[in-house]
Amino acid sequence: MKTIGFIGLGIMGSPMAANLVRAGFDVTGHTRSPAGLDRLVAVGGRAAGSIAEAVAGADAVITMLPDSPDVEAVLFGSGGLAAGAGPDGVLANAAPGTLIIDMSTINPRTARAIAAAATDVGTAAGFRVLDAPVSGGERGAVEGTLSIMVGGAGDDVAAAMPVFEALGTTIVHVGPAGAGQTVKTANQLVVAGTIQLVAEAIVLLETSGVDAAAGLRVLAGGLAGSTVLDRKGASMLAREFAPGFRVDLHHKDLGIMLEAARSSGAAVPLGAQVAQLMAALRAQGDGELDHTALLRLTERLSGVTNPAPHQVDRSDA
Amino acid sequence: MKTIGFIGLGIMGSPMAANLVRAGFDVTGHTRSPAGLDRLVAVGGRAAGSIAEAVAGADAVITMLPDSPDVEAVLFGSGGLAAGAGPDGVLANAAPGTLIIDMSTINPRTARAIAAAATDVGTAAGFRVLDAPVSGGERGAVEGTLSIMVGGAGDDVAAAMPVFEALGTTIVHVGPAGAGQTVKTANQLVVAGTIQLVAEAIVLLETSGVDAAAGLRVLAGGLAGSTVLDRKGASMLAREFAPGFRVDLHHKDLGIMLEAARSSGAAVPLGAQVAQLMAALRAQGDGELDHTALLRLTERLSGVTNPAPHQVDRSDA
Amino acid sequence: MKTIGFIGLGIMGSPMAANLVRAGFDVTGHTRSPAGLDRLVAVGGRAAGSIAEAVAGADAVITMLPDSPDVEAVLFGSGGLAAGAGPDGVLANAAPGTLIIDMSTINPRTARAIAAAATDVGTAAGFRVLDAPVSGGERGAVEGTLSIMVGGAGDDVAAAMPVFEALGTTIVHVGPAGAGQTVKTANQLVVAGTIQLVAEAIVLLETSGVDAAAGLRVLAGGLAGSTVLDRKGASMLAREFAPGFRVDLHHKDLGIMLEAARSSGAAVPLGAQVAQLMAALRAQGDGELDHTALLRLTERLSGVTNPAPHQVDRSDA
Amino acid sequence: MKTIGFIGLGIMGSPMAANLVRAGFDVTGHTRSPAGLDRLVAVGGRAAGSIAEAVAGADAVITMLPDSPDVEAVLFGSGGLAAGAGPDGVLANAAPGTLIIDMSTINPRTARAIAAAATDVGTAAGFRVLDAPVSGGERGAVEGTLSIMVGGAGDDVAAAMPVFEALGTTIVHVGPAGAGQTVKTANQLVVAGTIQLVAEAIVLLETSGVDAAAGLRVLAGGLAGSTVLDRKGASMLAREFAPGFRVDLHHKDLGIMLEAARSSGAAVPLGAQVAQLMAALRAQGDGELDHTALLRLTERLSGVTNPAPHQVDRSDA
């Protein structure tokens, strides 16, 4: 596992590819933006003008793309999964047996379909496929501290481990193909819900005339405590909503979550509700803000038009 | 601040009174059950046959009772707040100026009304009143590690500090009269919501055929992490629902939360929803279980009738 | 049943009292506003300067007041129910055996408590009490076409029937004391929910580029049809939100509904949600609008800032 | 407009095709089940062994199928929409210019995509396409009293009018391609929501000890009135849940509704909630019951295990 083709050098993909270079991998990247290619070359990788060039000779191919259709198009060519392996996609150009690691966040069902199709495609061996979405955001990508939830065969996970270790600190093999994506959707459900709960607590405290910073400090110390409170409480109190993780993306992810819950039969009453709230926030024009802007929506619902944000004391909440 | 009258020696009150004795306070307790009195005597406190006896000569009176009507009856006598200070209540028997600390979880509005009424009552000085509800459960009460959220005047909080330090580790003065109760209701909202989110995640993972223990491990390491996951994840996976904190009590507390939100104008969409779920769980006969039994309700909603609980590995999730 | 004392001559009470005068009853009214008294005198009733004067010699006393505390204060005097029959209330001044008919919308529990207390109070006979809230709004009150839902003893309902027939067209005895109020709360739940469903349908149609008037016409003709669609569809499409029935009042009524559901153990998931939405609408400053303004809230949630209201064709939807 | 090819002779399609025969159309049908073909022949239609045979010489082709993939497969052949017009589908076999009327309930987005693709396909003229889903159920199909909501070009709607008039009584052209499906999804949202509201009202009344039949009678007479109450109130009170319209199908339709709302940006808070409830009912094994079985779910949520159903008096509610 030495040579890596990396497709998708955006906000997440760029620092991830850079970390692979730093860890000693031979990385050839391809992406739509020239800037992304330049960044890779600057840290010692190689820029490819096409998918075919990026995956030639690769032991593993990593994709880090916005959504399911993008992943389908990159792997199978412009016709997508339904049309089979088209000539411009990864599958038509990578060597049989190559390990394909999709680290995008996509629908678990699509992930399973991709794994099934890619395993069949090609010559004798077919391909080996892992779904390995991440959490931890841009900062986690830059610092190499991502959490990586991996679905696929145990042998393939073992083979990919050196790659994962260059990218993250929490790496868990959670089940067969698609399982990584399922865990990611559960993660996005819990994160969105926890942010909304903290937002409701803040509005409840402030509309009642209570010092919200002091109140959150108590909550953080007990069973109401959460990583959201620890990492985001202060910026929420200060109404700082620069992303971070954008509402638009979390909205996309909650759509995936609802589909996954629907198809597995899982009841997600709070999940369905927070998906409505995230969609409303986006519809109101706040798609570019950090997902903690759910606080803003909650304030609008409460008729709070002029909150007096706390001075942020980072040691505070 | 040396002599304390303590009213309400139940599951929470008994170990709290014991901790006060251990810290050197002179504690006289009163409660309905002889067993509660016996426990206090056994650790070195004194048993009083009436409220009047319990509060005679006390510097501070602590109440630790189930709900608003109980607190009203103990402070104002059987007629409650509306009838003014009746002869059998604390106010008619304590010395003017006594510090009254209600540590029960009650409605913030009632707490404010009690503070207003008690400040007026009595002779020249009136009484000094704090609302100081706690979180941390029976274990926190026993170990003296409660979180205490205090509403009232700064001087009175300062005066009560030695008492609080004998009972808890996180002690925060969050605002004027009633503010402690408001923070407590925000706490109960966030705790119930977080439990429900974890329940939805577990059901989503398990109905999708994913290893939920592994999945929760990833969630706990990222922005989805929470004290609920850390402390309750394993027992939820094992379907161990012995309380802990009972559904019945959390149901009561969410009723208080909804009233508080309604009167302050705060929108609590997830709070309202989880209150419905907690009420349903109770209506289905599970009021005596731990509040994490929201998982059971979520499974019923998902048609899961026969979950295969994990063997609990306490180091697990 | 000839002489009636009528307390509360507001928007609803005034036309109701007038209808009683027209039907031949001898009506003496009392209310806080001089204008209300003048209106009653103008149609042939008598104005009383006090409750005592209004109920002197009455066979029946009708109360039509905003909320529970008002009803308590009028019946029991300023101390309310808890203080027993005070000298300035109806109970202290009406003749024993008088039929007391509360037509206000109040909490079923309070209605039951009032019935229990009033039956005990007074001399030998006590009082006879009915709860008889109405639906049909100001127009129904003026036209004598109210729906009246009556709780109480069968004999008393029979005795009150001539009174009810002067006020409404649908008169149903639904159960014992408090049952009328329970039905009213169910009514308010269904009305609010149906308005919200129509609002969601309109926004779904309009944001999808579909002619909403045509769409609602189809819905009205099938299983999606409702009185809300028939009577309110056109004004909702036209964004005409002059009351009608005010958001503030419906918000109050949904609070009563939630308490009733909570105490009976009924799950009301849509009810709890629409109560949150009505509260949000009110918090946003729209409490004075008609309750169909839930459409406005739904548009705000959908980021619709500039709907192009239909010209209203009253034959339309 | 004389000769019709009819694909899909199930519970709805069979009586619809029969009504067309009765109205004088020359109907050739194709469907998977021999029983369906026999029924058509019995009423005077012709049975076709393939899609190609059914559409040969047809002026119009009607499809009445379970879901989007079925419609895609019938029109475009087994490869579906993505693969273009395959040899075994309607488009490869019908004459250019044929009017294609899809009366199934499918995703509005798919309906638009089908219309766009079919208009392009074939020779010079392409096809003319309408989406025309119905409401009114099996009974409406048998009696020819369906409501038909039509999306497409005005000329095509005019051309299809004789066909529609043989099938239904309310026929409304609601907009361009896909608009019929959008209205259908709004319809399914409002129907499901109204059923759930009535279910909540029934449980609220019964758990409060109130005569629910009497209560619903009052509701039906005022602003809470609805076609659901009129047509389904009595059977709900009697707990008769034989379909009617099955939970499974309504669950499918609410999935379509959520997708439509998501893509148009419409907030549907009650819609999202009732979709969760319908999914839960199905997950609990009640997919084959009538959708009014939401009452059963609401009872389970309320801990009501043994309701005493009313004797049904059909004149009752």
CATH number at residue D243: 1.10.1040.10
C82 touches chain B (CB under 8 A): yes
Is A270 close to B197, i.e. CB distance below 8 A? Answer: yes
Alpha helices in C65-211, H assignment, sequence order: 68-76, 90-93, 108-120, 137-143, 154-167, 179-207
- A210 and A139 within one domain: no
- Is residue B34 within 8 angstroms of chain A, CB to CB? no
Residues D189 and D120 in one domain: no
pLDDT per position as a tens digit, D15-58: 999 999 999 999 999 999 899 999 999 999 999 999 999 999 99
Q: Is residue B32 in some structural domain?
A: yes
Q: Which residue has the higher pLDDT, A35 or B309?
A: A35
The burial of C272, by beta-carbon neighbours within 10 Å (0-12 exposed, 13-18 middle, 19 or more buried), is given as buried
Which of B254, B262, B278 would best serve as a mutation to test chain C binding (most C beta carbons within 10 A)?
Answer: B262
Who has greater pLDDT, C180 or A314? C180
Residues of B within 8 A of D200 (CB-CB) are none
Touching subunits for chain D (3+ Cβ pairs under 8 A):
A, B, C
CA–CA min distance B209, chain A (Å) = 8
What does the alpha-carbon distance between residue B244 and residue B288 come to, in Å, rounded to a whole number?
A: 10
Same domain, A65 and A194: no
Mean of per-residue pLDDT scores for chain D? 92
- Contacts with C282 from chain B: Cβ below 8 Å: 265
What confidence category does residue A78 fall into, taking pLDDT thresholds of 50, 70 and 90?
Answer: confident
Cis omega (within 30 of 0) for bond into C244? yes
Question: Could B255 and C267 be called an inter-chain contact, meaning their C-beta atoms sit closer than 8 Å?
Answer: no
> Using CA atoms, how far apart are residues D104 and D111, in angstroms rounded to an integer?
10
**Is it the case that residue B16 has pLDDT exceeding 70?**
yes
B247 close to B275: Cβ distance less than 8 angstroms: no
Is A288 in CB contact (< 8 Å) with chain C?
no
- pLDDT tens for each residue of A208-249: 999 999 999 999 999 999 999 999 999 999 999 999 899 999
Q: What angle do CA B278, B280, B283 make, to 5 degrees?
A: 115
- State the average pLDDT over residues B68-93: 86
CATH number at residue D169: 3.40.50.720
| Confidence bin at D313 (pLDDT 50/70/90) | very low
Q: Per the domain annotation, does D316 fall within a domain?
A: no
CB pair distance less than 8 Å for C273 and D273: yes
Q: Which domain holds residue D193?
A: 183-301
Per-residue pLDDT of B100-111, as tens digits, reads 999 999 999 999
Q: Give yes or no for a contact between A175 and B209, defined as CB atoms under 8 angstroms apart.
A: yes
Give per-residue pLDDT as tens, B85-136: 788 899 999 998 899 999 999 999 999 999 998 887 544 458 999 999 999 9
Residue C26: HSE in the Cβ half-sphere, 13 Å Cα cutoff: 9
Same domain for B215 and B275, yes or no, is yes
Greater pLDDT, C49 or D305: C49
Chain B residues with CB inside 8 Å of C258's CB? 258
pLDDT over 50 (residue C279): yes
Q: How far is A76 from chain D (nearest CA, A)?
A: 14
Residue A315 falls inside a structural domain: no
Give yes or no: C184 in active site: yes
Nearest to A203 among B137, B193, B266 (CB): B266
Q: How far apart are CA B198 and CA A221, in angstroms?
A: 19
Predicted pLDDT of residue C121 = 54
Asked if pLDDT for residue B314 goes beyond 50, the answer is: no
Average pLDDT over residues A68-74: 93
pLDDT of residue A18: 98
Task: Kindly report whether the peptide bond that precedes residue A137 is cis, defined as omega within 30 degrees of 0.
Answer: no
pLDDT-wise least confident of A278-292, B283-297, B303-317: B303-317
Of all residues in chain B, the percent with pLDDT exceeding 90 is 85
AA identity, residue D172: V
In which band, very low, low, confident or very high, does the pLDDT at D309 lie, cut at 50, 70 and 90?
low
Q: Tell me: pLDDT of C108 over 70.
A: yes
Which pLDDT belongs to residue A1?
A: 80
Q: Which of C278, C282, C301 to mutate to test the interface with A (most CBs of A within 10 A)?
A: C301
Q: Nearest CA of chain A to the CA of B175: how many Å?
A: 6
Best interface-test mutation with C: which of A284, A289, A299 has the largest number of C CBs within 10 A? A284
∠ CA C203-C207-C210, nearest 5°, is: 95
Q: How many domains does chain B have?
A: 2
Task: Report the b/e string of C160-175 with b at 16+ CB within 10 A.
Answer: beebbebbbebbbbbb
Question: Do C246 and C148 share a structural domain?
Answer: no
**Burial (0-12, 13-18, 19+ Cβ within 10 Å), D158:** exposed
Average pLDDT over residues C176-202: 98
Nearest CA to CA, how far is D291 from chain C (Å)? Answer: 12
Q: What is the pLDDT of residue B316?
A: 36
Name the closest residue on chain B to residue D283, using Cα atoms: B303
Q: Are residues D225 and D210 in the same domain?
A: yes
Which residues in chain A touch residue C269, judged by CB atoms under 8 angstroms apart?
A: 269
| Contacting partners of chain A (3+ CB pairs under 8 A) | B, C, D
Does B249 lie in the same domain as B145?
Answer: no
pLDDT band at D121 (very low <50, low <70, confident <90, very high): low
C108 and C33 within one domain: yes
Q: Which residues of D touch A258 (CB under 8 A)?
A: 258
Dist. CA D198–CA D290, nearest whole Å: 15
In a domain, A123, yes or no: yes
Tens digit of pLDDT for each residue in D44-101? 999 999 999 999 999 999 999 999 999 999 999 987 787 777 788 999 999 988 999 9
Reply yes or no on whether the pLDDT at B245 is more than 80.
yes
Verify that D222 and D105 share a domain, yes or no.
no
Given a cut of 60, is residue C22 above it in pLDDT?
yes
pLDDT at residue C315 is higher than 70: no
Whether the predicted pLDDT of C272 surpasses 90? yes
**Of the residues C132, C160, C176, which one is the last residue of a structural domain?**
C176
- What confidence tens digit (pLDDT) does each residue in B143-181 have? 999 999 999 999 999 999 999 999 999 999 999 999 999
Q: How confident is the model at residue A123 (pLDDT cuts 50, 70, 90)?
A: very low
**Do the Cβ atoms of A268 and A276 come closer than 8 Å?**
no
Question: Closest Cα of chain A to B307: distance in Å?
Answer: 13
Question: Does the CB of B285 have a partner CB in chain C at under 8 Å?
Answer: no
Is pLDDT above 70 for B315? no
Buried b (16+ CB within 10 A) or exposed e, D214-225: bbbbbbbbbbbb
B276 interfacial to chain C (CB closer than 8 Å): yes
pLDDT exceeds cutoff 90 at C286: yes
pLDDT above 80 (res A84)? no
Least-confidence region, from C78-87, D57-66, D168-177 = C78-87
Q: List, for residues B174-210, the tens digit of each pLDDT value.
A: 999 999 999 999 999 999 999 999 999 999 999 999 9
For residue C251, which residues of chain A lie inside 8 Å, CB to CB?
none
Where a domain ends, among A147, A177, A207? A177
B149/A260 touch (CB, cutoff 8 Å), yes or no: no
For D231-274, how does the pLDDT look when each residue is reduced to its tens digit (9 = 90+)?
Answer: 999 999 999 999 989 999 999 999 999 999 999 999 999 999 99
**Structure confidence by residue, pLDDT tens digits, D284-307:** 999 999 999 999 999 999 999 876
The verdict on A21 and A135 lying in the same domain is yes
Average pLDDT in chain B: 92
Residue bearing the bigger pLDDT, A244 or B264 = B264
A300 shares contact with chain C (CB less than 8 Å):
yes
Looking at D146, D177, D208, the residue that finishes a domain is D177
Are B273 and C269 an interchain contact pair (Cβ–Cβ within 8 Å)? yes
Cβ of B272 and C272 within 8 Å? Answer: yes
Residue D14 lies in a domain: yes
Taking CA atoms, what residue in B is nearest to C282? B265
Q: What is the distance, to the nearest Å, from the Cα of residue C295 to the centroid of all Cα atoms in its chain? A: 22
Cβ pairs bridging A and B (under 8 Å): 278
- Residues C238-257: what's their mean pLDDT? 96
B47 near B29, Cβ under 8 Å?
yes
Q: Look at residue B24 and give its three-state secondary structure.
A: coil
Residues of B catalogued as catalytic: 184
Q: Is residue D76 part of a domain?
A: yes
Which of C82, C258, C262 shows the shortest C-beta gap to B82?
A: C82
Residues C132 and C222 in one domain: no
Higher pLDDT, A313 or C64: C64
Interface of D with C in 202-241 (CB under 8 A): 203-205, 207-211, 214-215, 217-219, 221-228, 231-232
Q: Chain A contact for D262, CB < 8 A? A: yes
Residue D20 sits in the same domain as residue D157: yes
Which chain C residues touch D231 with a CB distance below 8 Å?
223
Residues of D in contact with C200 (CB under 8 A): 186, 189-190, 193, 261, 266-271
Nearest-Cα distance to chain B for C260, in Å, is: 12
C279–B276 C-beta distance less than 8 A: no
Q: Is residue D311 part of a domain?
A: no
Asked whether the beta carbons of residue B223 and residue A227 sit closer than 8 angstroms, the reply is: yes
Q: Is residue C309 part of a domain?
A: no
Min Cα–Cα distance to chain D from A284, Å = 10
Q: Is B222 within 8 Å of A136 when comparing Cβ atoms?
A: yes
Minimum mean pLDDT range among A50-54, A206-210, D124-128: D124-128
- In degrees, to the nearest 5, what angle opens at C-alpha B141 toward C-alphas B139 and B145? 85
Rounded CA-CA distance C288/C299 in Å is 18
